[in-house]
């Protein structure tokens, strides 16, 4: 079952009538839509715009921040790595300048220098002197490499050509990853010799692996072919090809975004290390870096959704409330208009009836007197006293006159009520009066009318016309609800609190429970197709209120309806004090 | 007991007077206020039955004139509907036992006449 029928405001189904005496002055549903759309757009629109703007600014700031941090880390690390490599080269340069070829060819001297280098610089594993033909003349270190020829090694030709050299990492004879640093020193005879040292890559690895790289980052060095020179956590093993593309040459530090082979977004910072073939790479996972931003984004979205929801609820609630109030006010206006017209109509009918009744009354009185006189003459002169037929005819005339006179009195009484206000009323008499109007209909339709009036019911002070109208409306409704042969019961009794109760019940079709609490609403009618205005009970309710009373209804569909009116015995008419 | 009936409807008032006479109540009738006052100068009545609404002089005006001539005179009013404004004020002061709404029953009128005189006595 849908929720909407339960929360639907009263004005929702009211159609707009372009013309007619009781049309509403506003289109409430359209008004509701307009107010909701306008209010929502001026309040939610800027909120969304602000949130969107803030979202973009914050995201751009977060991205710039991580790019900047990565670039700074790459620059600093490059400086450290470059310093580490070049410092070894400077040390060797110092050694060849400070020692002659002969001194360096002496193994003891060479061993002493290696010892000093290990102590001062660290990272040196061995030291060797190679002549211009590539023969290692002397060597100190953990291996036996004296007399080895290096003329077939690429690095030898490089150092011959460039004078100094820092190698990439390679396995060499020992099948251990290492790198070498070599410097060439010319000799007076025009030839040269080379001083070569093996540099321990462990220290290098240690330096890179202990970098504090956020975002599950990875710092390593590759050569220009993408071969890993130092171990990497997630982009391949040492001396294997890196899983990412080799970035293009740039003299400056660069940061770019890419994706890993398995699709993870990555932020890559790199720098080409001068004097070497190495490239320093720092690779971070973008999602991890952006996590604070993702948290902020989640907060912005939740804030926006909650904010919009609250604004919408408030707008819908306030608009519905206000439009409903306006609708109710308009409903009252229309009803008041209707009531005025209804009363004016009744009053004019009343006046017409009174005029007719008054005009008829005199001739009726004459007929009455003349027929009475004839009867008197018959009776007193005794001429026709025994003529039962004549006497019967006269009695018939007299009883018809009596009937007519009852009708004219009732009509006169009905008219009079529009002029008079509060008076003492005998409930039995007024009930009888009202039922008099419907007596014929009751007879034709075989409706039984039972009246029970408790002996102790006091006369009440009230407005006779209004009370008559209340009773007439209710009894008329009962008649409309009943099939032919139904039963109407009118009871009057005293109630506690100096009040009198009139109960009008029928065994008609009854009112469904769903309609029961709406029947006193103006324009609520189940008989609209057959010309009902939906105002009868609403006006009745208003009249009972005016008389200081209460009206309640009990009903069961198919079984019948009972209206109970409780009226004060004395009507307290409130008067405004004269200022 | 002598009764004067005054009503602008001659047909009505003549029949009414005759019916009273048949019942042994001496009754005269006239159809205007001036005739009534003229007659009241000559005759003495115990009760005057007056129509409330009459041309020229209303029942209440006539009552005042006649009361001046004969303070002991009792009055019973006949009304078409009892809603004439002056008459309502009078009713409010005197109660409702001195009038009858037309058409009347002759027995009711006689009862009122007796009651009026009885109260007086």
Q: Give residue-wise pLDDT tens across range A103-118.
A: 999 999 999 999 998 8
Nearest CB partner across the interface for B12, out of A365, A409, A412: A365
Q: Does the pLDDT at position B5 exceed 50?
A: yes
B contacts of A369 (beta carbons < 8 Å): 11-12, 15-16, 19, 103, 106
The number of beta carbons lying within 10 Å of the beta carbon of residue A108 is 9
Looking at residues A281-309, what average pLDDT do you find? 90
Statement to judge: residues A184 and A238 lie in one domain: no
Q: Which two tokens stand for residue A246?
A: 């080799």
Please check whether residue A336 lies inside any domain of the structure. Answer: no
Total number of domains constituting chain A = 3
Q: At A156, which CATH number?
A: 3.30.450.20
Q: At A489, which CATH number?
A: 3.30.565.10
Lowest model confidence (mean pLDDT) among A63-67, A376-380, A527-531: A527-531
CB distance A550 to A537 below 8 Å: no
Please check whether residue A32 lies inside any domain of the structure. Answer: no
> In which element (H, E) is residue A297 found?
helix A291-381
Contact flag A358-B81 (C-beta cutoff 8 Å): yes
Residue A300 binned pLDDT confidence (cut-offs 50, 70, 90): confident
Residue A265 binned pLDDT confidence (cut-offs 50, 70, 90): very high
CB distance A269 to A285 below 8 Å: no
On whether any CB of chain A is under 8 Å from the CB of B94, the answer is no
The residues facing A254 across adjacent strands are: A270
Q: Which two tokens stand for residue A494?
A: 């005293």
Please check whether residue A93 lies inside any domain of the structure. Answer: no
**Would you state the pLDDT for residue A319?**
93
What is the torsion angle, in degrees rounded to the nearest 10, for the CA atoms of residue A404, residue A409, residue A414 and residue A419? 150
Query: Which of A357, A369, A374 has the most B C-beta neighbours within 10 Å, making it the best mutation to test the interface with B?
Result: A369
* Helix (H) and strand (E) counts in chain B: 5, 5
Q: Which two tokens stand for residue A423?
A: 């008076």
Mean pLDDT score of chain A, rounded to an integer? 84
Q: Does the pLDDT at position A143 exceed 50?
A: yes
Lowest model confidence (mean pLDDT) among A209-213, A428-432, A443-447: A209-213
On whether any CB of chain B is under 8 Å from the CB of A412, the answer is yes
A contacts of B82 (beta carbons < 8 Å): 412
Please check whether residue A13 lies inside any domain of the structure. Answer: no
Into which CATH architecture does domain B2-120 fall? Answer: 3-Layer(aba) Sandwich (3.40)
Statement to judge: residues A432 and A550 lie in one domain: yes
Contact flag B9-A362 (C-beta cutoff 8 Å): yes
**Would you state the pLDDT for residue A527?**
65
Residue A10 and residue A14: Cα distance in Å, rounded? 8
Query: Which of B102, B109, B110 has the most A C-beta neighbours within 10 Å, making it the best mutation to test the interface with A?
Result: B102
Domain encompassing residue A178? 99-203
User: What chain A residue is nearest to B81 in terms of C-alpha separation?
Assistant: A412
Statement to judge: residues A556 and A455 lie in one domain: yes
Please check whether residue A107 lies inside any domain of the structure. Answer: yes
**Would you state the pLDDT for residue A94?**
92
**Would you state the pLDDT for residue A577?**
38
Lowest model confidence (mean pLDDT) among A7-21, A244-258, A264-278: A7-21
**Would you state the pLDDT for residue A386?**
77
**Would you state the pLDDT for residue A535?**
66
Q: Give residue-wise pLDDT tens across range A397-431.
A: 988 888 888 777 767 766 555 444 677 888 888 89
Residue B37 binned pLDDT confidence (cut-offs 50, 70, 90): very high
- Distance to chain A for B40, nearest Cα, Å: 24
Q: Does the pLDDT at position A533 exceed 70?
A: no
Give me the residue spans of the domains in chain B. 2-120
Quote the DSSP letter at residue A578: P
Q: Spell out a b/e string for A310-328, using b for 16 or more CB atoms within 10 Å of the CB, else e.
A: eeeeebbeebbeebbebbe
Residue of higher predicted confidence among A360 and A312: A312
In whole angstroms, how far apart are CA A165 and each of A147, A178, A180, A275? 21, 14, 8, 8
Please check whether residue A438 lies inside any domain of the structure. Answer: yes
Residue A324 and residue A10: Cα distance in Å, rounded? 7
On whether any CB of chain A is under 8 Å from the CB of B18, the answer is yes
Residues 6+ apart with CB under 8 A from A113: A95, A99, A104, A127
Q: Does the pLDDT at position A211 exceed 70?
A: yes
Q: What ipTM did this prediction achieve?
A: 0.85
CB distance A527 to A464 below 8 Å: no
On whether any CB of chain B is under 8 Å from the CB of A405, the answer is yes
Please check whether residue A115 lies inside any domain of the structure. Answer: yes
Q: Spell out a b/e string for A23-47, using b for 16 or more CB atoms within 10 Å of the CB, else e.
A: ebeeebbebbeebbeebbeeebeee
Residue B84 binned pLDDT confidence (cut-offs 50, 70, 90): low
Domain boundary among A170, A186, A203: A203
Looking at residues A25-36, what average pLDDT do you find? 87
Statement to judge: residues A549 and A445 lie in one domain: yes
CB distance A114 to A124 below 8 Å: yes
**Would you state the pLDDT for residue B4?**
94
Q: Does the pLDDT at position A144 exceed 90?
A: no
A contacts of B9 (beta carbons < 8 Å): 362, 365-366
- Distance to chain A for B23, nearest Cα, Å: 9
**Would you state the pLDDT for residue A1?**
54
Domain boundary among A240, A265, A289: A289
Statement to judge: residues A180 and A262 lie in one domain: no
Contact flag B9-A358 (C-beta cutoff 8 Å): no
Q: Does the pLDDT at position A520 exceed 50?
A: yes
User: What chain B residue is nearest to A363 in terms of C-alpha separation?
Assistant: B12
Statement to judge: residues A263 and A130 lie in one domain: no
Statement to judge: residues A166 and A267 lie in one domain: no
Residue A345 binned pLDDT confidence (cut-offs 50, 70, 90): confident
Please check whether residue A72 lies inside any domain of the structure. Answer: no
Looking at residues A323-330, what average pLDDT do you find? 89
Q: Give residue-wise pLDDT tens across range A462-504.
A: 887 788 888 988 998 888 888 888 999 999 998 888 889 999 9
**Percentage of chain A exceeding pLDDT 70:** 91
Statement to judge: residues A561 and A462 lie in one domain: yes
Rg (CA), chain A: 57
Residue of higher predicted confidence among A476 and A525: A476
**Would you state the pLDDT for residue A36?**
94
The number of beta carbons lying within 10 Å of the beta carbon of residue A339 is 16
Domain boundary among A177, A203, A229: A203
Looking at residues A446-457, what average pLDDT do you find? 89
Residue of higher predicted confidence among A367 and A421: A367
Closest CA to B102 of B11, B1, B3, B30: B11
- The pTM of the full predicted model, rounded to 2 decimals, is 0.50
Write down the H helix ranges in chain B: 10-22, 33-42, 59-69, 85-94, 106-120
Residue A118 burial by Cβ neighbours in a 10 Å radius (0-12, 13-18, 19+)? middle
Q: Give residue-wise pLDDT tens across range A370-401.
A: 999 998 888 887 777 777 888 888 888 988 88
């Amino acid at each position: 079952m849908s929720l909407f029928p339960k929360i639907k405001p009263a004005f929702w189904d009211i159609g707009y009538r372009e013309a007619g005496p009781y049309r509403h002055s506003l289109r409430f549903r359209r008004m509701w839509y307009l107010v909701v759309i306008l209010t929502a757009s001026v309040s939610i629109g800027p909120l969304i715009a602000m949130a969107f703007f803030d979202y973009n600014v914050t995201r751009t700031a977060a991205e710039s921040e991580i790019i900047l941090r990565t670039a700074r880390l790459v620059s600093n690390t490059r400086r450290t790595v470059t310093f580490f490599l070049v410092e070894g080269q400077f040390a060797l340069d110092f050694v060849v300048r400070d020692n002659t070829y002969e001194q360096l060819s002496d193994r003891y001297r060479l061993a002493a220098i290696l010892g000093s280098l290990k102590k001062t610089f660290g990272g040196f594993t061995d030291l060797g002197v190679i002549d211009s033909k590539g023969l290692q003349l002397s060597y100190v270190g953990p291996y036996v490499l004296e007399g080895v020829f290096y003329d077939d090694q690429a690095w030898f030709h490089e150092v011959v050509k460039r004078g100094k050299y820092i190698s990439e990492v390679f396995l060499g004879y020992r099948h251990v990853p290492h790198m070498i640093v070599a410097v060439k020193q010319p000799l007076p005879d025009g030839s040269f010799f080379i001083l070569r040292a093996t540099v321990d890559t462990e220290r290098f690895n240690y330096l890179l692996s202990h970098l504090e790289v956020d975002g599950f980052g990875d710092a390593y060095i590759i050569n220009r072919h993408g071969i890993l020179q130092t171990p990497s956590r997630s982009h391949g093993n040492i001396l294997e090809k890196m899983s990412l593309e080799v970035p293009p040459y740039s003299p400056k530090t660069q940061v770019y975004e890419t994706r890993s082979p398995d699709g993870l977004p990555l932020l890559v910072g790199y720098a080409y290390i001068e004097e070497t073939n190495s490239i320093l790479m720092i690779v971070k996972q973008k999602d991890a870096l952006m996590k604070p931003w993702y948290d902020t984004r989640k907060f912005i979205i939740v804030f926006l959704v909650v904010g919009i929801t609250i604004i919408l609820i408030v707008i819908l609630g306030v608009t519905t409330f206000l439009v409903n109030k306006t609708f109710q006010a308009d409903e009252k206006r229309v009803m008041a208009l209707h009531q005025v017209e209804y009363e004016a109509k009744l009053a004019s009918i009343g006046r017409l009836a009174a005029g007719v009744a008054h005009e008829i009354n005199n001739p009726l009185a004459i007929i009455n007197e003349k027929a009475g006189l004839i009867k008197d003459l018959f009776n007193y002169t005794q001429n026709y006293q025994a003529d039962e037929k004549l006497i019967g005819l006269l009695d018939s005339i007299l009883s018809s006159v009596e009937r007519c006179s009852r009708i004219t009195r009732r009509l006169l009484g009905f008219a009079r009520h529009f002029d008079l206000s509060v008076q003492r009323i005998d409930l039995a008499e007024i009930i009888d009066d009202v039922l008099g109007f419907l007596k014929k209909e009751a007879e034709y339709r075989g409706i039984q009318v039972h009246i029970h009036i408790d002996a102790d019911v006091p006369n009440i002070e009230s407005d006779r016309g209004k009370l008559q109208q209340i009773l007439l409306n209710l009894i008329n409704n009962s008649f409309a609800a009943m099939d032919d042969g139904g039963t109407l019961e009118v009871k009057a009794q005293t109630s506690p609190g100096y009040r009198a109760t009139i109960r009008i019940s029928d065994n008609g079709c009854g009112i469904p429970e769903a309609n029961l609490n709406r029947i006193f609403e103006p324009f609520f009618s189940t008989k609209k197709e057959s010309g009902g205005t939906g105002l009868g009970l609403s006006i009745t309710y208003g009249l009972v209120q005016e008389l200081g009373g209460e009206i309640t209804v009990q009903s069961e569909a198919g079984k019948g309806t009972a209206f109970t009116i409780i009226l004060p015995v004395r009507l307290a008419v409130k008067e405004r004090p004269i200022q | 007991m002598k009764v004067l009936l005054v009503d602008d409807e001659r047909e009505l008032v003549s029949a009414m007077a005759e019916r009273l006479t048949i019942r042994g109540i001496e009754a005269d009738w006239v159809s205007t206020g001036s005739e009534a006052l003229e007659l009241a100068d000559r005759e003495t009545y115990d009760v005057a039955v007056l129509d409330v609404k009459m041309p020229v002089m209303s029942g209440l005006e006539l009552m005042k004139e006649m009361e001046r001539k004969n303070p002991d005179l009792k009055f019973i009013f006949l009304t078409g509907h009892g809603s004439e404004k002056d008459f309502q004020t009078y009713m409010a002061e005197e109660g409702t036992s001195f009038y009858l709404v037309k058409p009347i029953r002759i027995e009711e009128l006689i009862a009122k006449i007796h009651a009026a005189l009885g109260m007086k006595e």
